[in-house]
C-alpha cells in the first residue's frame, strides 16, 4: 500500500521541528517560563514553557490515533492540567509551576519525532478515513489526514509563532 499522504504530512512536521530548534536558540533557562517584559512592562502572553508543553500533548496523540504504541512517548500525568487548551499560561519566576525546560523539551521532541515516524509509516487508507474524534474537531477536519495535517502545521506553527513574538519582546533576534 502507498504511504504518500503520511510523507506529505510528515514533511510539515519535520520543518516545524527544525523551526522549533531555531526558536529555542539563545533563550535563557531562567526566562523559559516567564512572561515577556519589553521595557520592563509585563506582557501576559504564552511563554516558551507553556507553548512547548502544550504542543507536547499532541505528538503522542498523533501516535496513538495512528495505532502506534504511545507508552514510550505519553505525556506525564501533570501535563494536561498544566498545558491543555483550557489551561492558562502563568508567569513562573520561581520555577515552581512548570516542569524544568529540559523535561518539557524532551517530551516535545520525543513525541513529535515519534509522530513523524508514524506519519511516514502509515498507509494512505488511514488518512482518508473519517476522523475518529467526534464533535467540532471532526466538523473542521473530516478525515484523519486533515486532522493530523492541522496538528503538525496550522496548530503547530501558530503556537511556534507565539514563541517567535515572545522572543522579539524579550529582545532576542529573529529565529
CATH of the domain at 126: 1.20.120.450
Is residue 70 in some structural domain?
yes
Percent over 90 (pLDDT), the chain: 98
Is residue 175 in some structural domain?
no
Residues near 59 by beta carbon (within 8 Å), at least 6 away in sequence:
73, 108, 110, 111, 112, 113, 114, 115
pLDDT of 2 higher than 90: no
Is residue 174 in some structural domain?
no
Is residue 36 in some structural domain?
yes
Residue-range definition of the domain harbouring residue 130: 4-169
29-64 pLDDT tens trace:
999 999 999 999 999 999 999 999 999 999 999 999
The position carrying cell 510539515 is 12
Question: What pLDDT, on a 0 to 100 scale, did the predictor assign at position 82?
Answer: 98
Residue-wise over 145-160: b if at least 16 C-beta within 10 A, else e?
bbbbbbbbbebbeebb
Contact between 151 and 60 under an 8 Å Cβ cutoff? The reply is: no
Question: What pLDDT, on a 0 to 100 scale, did the predictor assign at position 168?
Answer: 97
68-118 pLDDT tens trace:
999 999 999 999 999 999 999 999 999 999 999 999 999 999 999 999 999
Q: Return the SS3 of 46.
A: coil
pLDDT of 3 higher than 90: no
CB atoms within 10 A of CB 96: 7
Is residue 110 in some structural domain?
yes
pLDDT of 1 higher than 70: no
* Phi, psi (rounded to 5 degrees) for 165: -65, -40
Residues near 39 by beta carbon (within 8 Å), at least 6 away in sequence:
none
Percent over 70 (pLDDT), the chain: 99
Report which of 114, 84, 102 is spatially closest to residue 17, judged by C-alpha positions: 114
Give the count of domains, the chain. Answer: 1
C-alpha to C-alpha distances, 111 to 54, 59, 70, 88, nearest whole angstrom? 12, 4, 9, 22
Amino acid at each position: 500500500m502507498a504511504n504518500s499522504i503520511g510523507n506529505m504530512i510528515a514533511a510539515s512536521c519535520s520543518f516545524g521541528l527544525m523551526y522549533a530548534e531555531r526558536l529555542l536558540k539563545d533563550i535563557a533557562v531562567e526566562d523559559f517560563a516567564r512572561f515577556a517584559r519589553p521595557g520592563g512592562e509585563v506582557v501576559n502572553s504564552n511563554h516558551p514553557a507553556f507553548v512547548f508543553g502544550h504542543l507536547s500533548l499532541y505528538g503522542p496523540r498523533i501516535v496513538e490515533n495512528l495505532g502506534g504504541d504511545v507508552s514510550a512517548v505519553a505525556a506525564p500525568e501533570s501535563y494536561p492540567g498544566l498545558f491543555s487548551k483550557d489551561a492558562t499560561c502563568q508567569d513562573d519566576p520561581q520555577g515552581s509551576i512548570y516542569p524544568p525546560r529540559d523535561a518539557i523539551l524532551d517530551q516535545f521532541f520525543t513525541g513529535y519525532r515519534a509522530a513523524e515516524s508514524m506519519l511516514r509509516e502509515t498507509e494512505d487508507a488511514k488518512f482518508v478515513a473519517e476522523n475518529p474524534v467526534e464533535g467540532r474537531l471532526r466538523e473542521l477536519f473530516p478525515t484523519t489526514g486533515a486532522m493530523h495535517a492541522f496538528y503538525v502545521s496550522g496548530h503547530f506553527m501558530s503556537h511556534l509563532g507565539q514563541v517567535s513574538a515572545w522572543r522579539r519582546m524579550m529582545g532576542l533576534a529573529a529565529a
